[in-house]
Amino acid sequence: MECNIITIQNSIKDVINTMSVIQQETIDINKMYWSTDANTQITGADDTDPVTLSTKLIKTEYVAGITFLEDLEDFFLNEAVTQTDYAQTCNKIKYGSAAAPVSLSYATESLGDRMYDICNWSLSLLKKCREIIDLYYDNEISDMMTNVDAQRTVSCGGLTRDQLNTGINLIEQFKKMMNNEVVTQADYAATISTWKRIGA
């Protein structure tokens, strides 16, 4: 069991380190979108108009991406998120539809590039989250943890049962958000902060 818990702990830490970067990026991108000409450039376009050059996004894809980033920020900050298929949204942004003939503005293009990166990271995280959850339940670690005291250390990295549970919960809820399922609200930013200190 120890070996499997350490594997899960290391995998969760990897996922959470990426989530930490995504969390900060979403905050910055959402501020940038509303404080630059990007929002006016996008608002002025028709739904099927290409609005980015390098990422080949049309307006509806761009707007869906901004909505996704706003919900990601809400997800981490214990606020309600919209239930939708964000994996599909990310895939559409990953592949794009049509390139704009020229860049509409530096901000519009830059945000499109950063949005593209977050969508790729999120799809990669979704795959890793599924693998971690499978390992956790297939090896019956969840059953073993029910008989362990909340503050008892369960790995040589100093991980407690409660910390493992909060990490698994974060991963399950992120997977649900991406897969169009109902998400349980919690302070996932605090979970990220806690996990970044584990084994540090």
pLDDT of residue 140: 64
pLDDT in tens, 128-158: 999 999 988 876 665 565 565 555 555 555 6
DSSP character string of 80-94: ----S-HHHHHHHHH
Decide which of 9 and 116 is more confident.
116
Q: What average pLDDT does range 181-197 have in this prediction?
A: 94
Handedness of CA 174, 178, 183, 189 (dihedral sign): positive
pLDDT of residue 149: 56
Are the C-beta atoms of residues 56 and 98 closer than 8 Å to each other? yes
Handedness of CA 19, 23, 26, 32 (dihedral sign): negative
pLDDT in tens, 73-126: 999 999 999 999 999 999 999 999 999 999 999 999 999 999 999 999 999 999
Buried b (16+ CB within 10 A) or exposed e, 59-78: bbbbbbbbebbbbbbbbbee
pLDDT of residue 200: 53
pTM for the model: 0.89
pLDDT of residue 115: 97
**CA-based nearest residue to 59, from 45, 41, 40:** 45
pLDDT of residue 153: 59
pLDDT in tens, 32-46: 999 999 999 999 999
pLDDT of residue 23: 95
pLDDT in tens, 154-180: 555 567 778 888 999 999 999 999 999
**CA-based nearest residue to 167, from 49, 16, 58:** 16
Residue 174 burial (10 A CB sphere; 0-12, 13-18, 19+)? buried
Residue type at position 126? L
Decide which of 1 and 23 is more confident.
23
Decide which of 195 and 62 is more confident.
62
Tell me how far CA of residue 133 lies from CA of 53, 64, 184, in angstroms: 38, 28, 17
**Domain ranges, ordered by start, for the chain:** 2-197
